[in-house]
Chain A
Amino acid sequence: MGITFDFADVLTGPPARWLLSGFLTTVYVTIAGSVLASVVAVILMGLRISPGRIGHYAAAAFVEVFRDTPVLVQLLIWYFAVWGLLPESLRGFVAEDHPRAVWPVNVIVLAPEFLCAAWGLGLFISVFLEEELRAGLNAVPAGQREAAMAQGLSNWQTLRFVLLPQALTNAWQPLVGQYLNLMKTSSLATGIGLAELTSAARRIESYNAHALEAFAVGTVLYLGLGVAMGQLLLFAGPRRPGAKAADKPLAVAPMRKAGHAV
């Protein structure tokens, strides 16, 4: 016996709409989470490198909490525990109809599921972004800071105009990896009822039992999104200016087994 594929039942009708809507939800939650993660990461790094002891330890504790606990648990806590603690008025506001908060295709962004997912994913990834950024900062030679100080730049100006641009260049590759992690981790938001791509595939499975086709299409969509996102971020990101050929990453030739040359 063989396996027969029936993609028609996945790529037409309601399943196609669910997939498209789920895919766009994944895109939106990734963008919202990434923006939040970036802002929080910069604040955390500022606290960690500032001379103040309290800020330093608070940021360090924040990093440990979010890095060392399961992200699924974090999402469940935000959605099932913390959301309920918010003021009634705020939850009521979110529960109302907001026509402008319905993005194509039929994705409600002003909803507890979307907000908790973007918030939870953003905070989770922010601590990894902070660690990458700080590693990039540590890789900037000490002489750069000395040169800036010797020219009368303040601590903040030294950070802003000399150290951070170079830290960002140093850390850009691993930072892109973390943004991709955020996109992939968004699949866990299916656990708090966000109708994103993974949840769409599961819905198709329970609708017409075409699990293999549904998850195949979902996987291809994740892959396409990841490749596009990675390429876009690398293209738009900072580059080492004036790098000579010797400084560029080595192109590693594929290895061939000896004696098997054609």
Chain B
Amino acid sequence: MAIVPMTTRYAGSQTHIGGSAADDAASASLTPAIEFRDVYKSFGSLHVLRGINLAIAPGDVVAVCGPSGSGKSTLIRLINHLETVTRGEIFINGVPTATLRGRPLQQLRTEIGFVFQQFNLYAHLNAEDNVSLALRKVRGVSNEKARQRAAKLLDRVGLADKARQYPAELSGGQQQRVAIARALATDPKIVLFDEPTSALDPEMTGEVLHVMQGLAKSGITMMVVTHEMSFAREVADRVIFLDAGVILEQAAPADFFNAPVNPRVRRFLKQLLSPLSPG
């Protein structure tokens, strides 16, 4: 791993974490929490994202939907560098991040929570250690303090009694709630969700969506790739529709669901809401 000096462009990371509410409010009116400027992403000759421009205000909850292969997951994976940008720039709290490496990148990642479709809980650690690992190893928090924070977060997702259970002993819904607690461990102001309920049995999606709804009210900026139209309608501040790597529509949920402008979006919604009706 390359050691990059702390003088990289991404620097003022700690300020907003520890900053006062007044600071947050002031910066909120000026700078988007997440901003894409003309972002392109290709895997070889496959052009997954083609010219994304998008600004998300702090505290906003944005649902990202669209057909399979439209680039939804890639869009949010670019934000914390699970994929790297081919062209363009992504600003987090006004700071460009596309070329971050090493320590500053690690720093950025601790400030952005990520929840995976397949949960990806550390299989060899119990729920509590899953939540506290990054606190202990990246933030250098003492074991006792990290344990207390993990207990608090597990309580928040309704799993206080499962702290000692291993992932293999938990249901899918419980695993995803632990994964959400883990994503919150380092107190991020942004949390990204990559189809968080797609791998769950239908009766378990409710418990996960419920936790996410609570999170949405807490002022955290959320981007949620989802096929759960009820979540998009009831919880999101804005819905983004992506197709073939281009944003076709972005609107408030009421407008998006009731009066979509783009014909491709109308077709998508019709199929999603009544899949059996003739095309």
Residue A198 lies at the interface, judged by CB distance under 8 Å to chain B: no
Cβ of B109 and Cβ of A149 under 8 Å apart?
A: yes
Contact among A141, A155, A157, A169 for B137, CB-based, below 8 A:
A157
Residue A244 lies at the interface, judged by CB distance under 8 Å to chain B: yes
| CB of B94, distance to nearest CB on chain A (Å) | 20
What 5 pairs between A and B have smallest CB-CB spacing?
Answer: A242-B166, A143-B120, A152-B110, A152-B109, A147-B120
Residue B182 lies at the interface, judged by CB distance under 8 Å to chain A: yes
Cβ of A147 and Cβ of B122 under 8 Å apart?
A: yes
Total number of B residues with any Cβ neighbor in A under 8 Å: 32
Counting chain A CB atoms within 10 Å of each CB, which of B124, B137, B138 scores highest? B124
- A150-B82, A151-B182, A157-B138 are contacts. A143–B116 as well, Cβ < 8 Å? yes
| Stretch in A15-23, A29-37, A95-103, A159-167 with 4+ CB within 8 Å of B | A159-167
Cβ of A154 and Cβ of B106 under 8 Å apart?
A: yes
Cβ of A153 and Cβ of B82 under 8 Å apart?
A: no
Contact among B1, B109, B122, B126 for A150, CB-based, below 8 A:
B109
Work out how many contacts link A and B, with CB atoms closer than 8 A. 80
Q: Which A residue sits closest to B109, measured CB to CB?
A: A152
- A149-B82, A169-B124 are contacts. A241–B168 as well, Cβ < 8 Å? yes
Cβ of A153 and Cβ of B134 under 8 Å apart?
A: yes
Contact among A156, A165, A241 for B126, CB-based, below 8 A:
A241
A149 contacts across to B, CB distance below 8 A: 81-82, 109
Residue B262 lies at the interface, judged by CB distance under 8 Å to chain A: no
Contact among A151, A155, A247 for B133, CB-based, below 8 A:
A151
| CB of B169, distance to nearest CB on chain A (Å) | 4
Q: Which B residue sits closest to A142, measured CB to CB?
A: B120
Residue A6 lies at the interface, judged by CB distance under 8 Å to chain B: no
Cβ of A151 and Cβ of B134 under 8 Å apart?
A: yes
Contact mask B101-123 → A, CB, 8 Å, 1/0? Answer: 00000111110101010101111
B82 contacts across to A, CB distance below 8 A: 146, 149-150
Residue A138 lies at the interface, judged by CB distance under 8 Å to chain B: no
- A144-B122, A146-B82 are contacts. A154–B1 as well, Cβ < 8 Å? yes
Residue B174 lies at the interface, judged by CB distance under 8 Å to chain A: no
| CB of B78, distance to nearest CB on chain A (Å) | 12
Q: Tell me the residues in window 131-173 of chain B with beta carbons closer than 8 Å to chain A beta carbons.
A: 133-134, 137-138, 165-169
Residue A243 lies at the interface, judged by CB distance under 8 Å to chain B: yes
B120 contacts across to A, CB distance below 8 A: 141, 143-144, 146-147
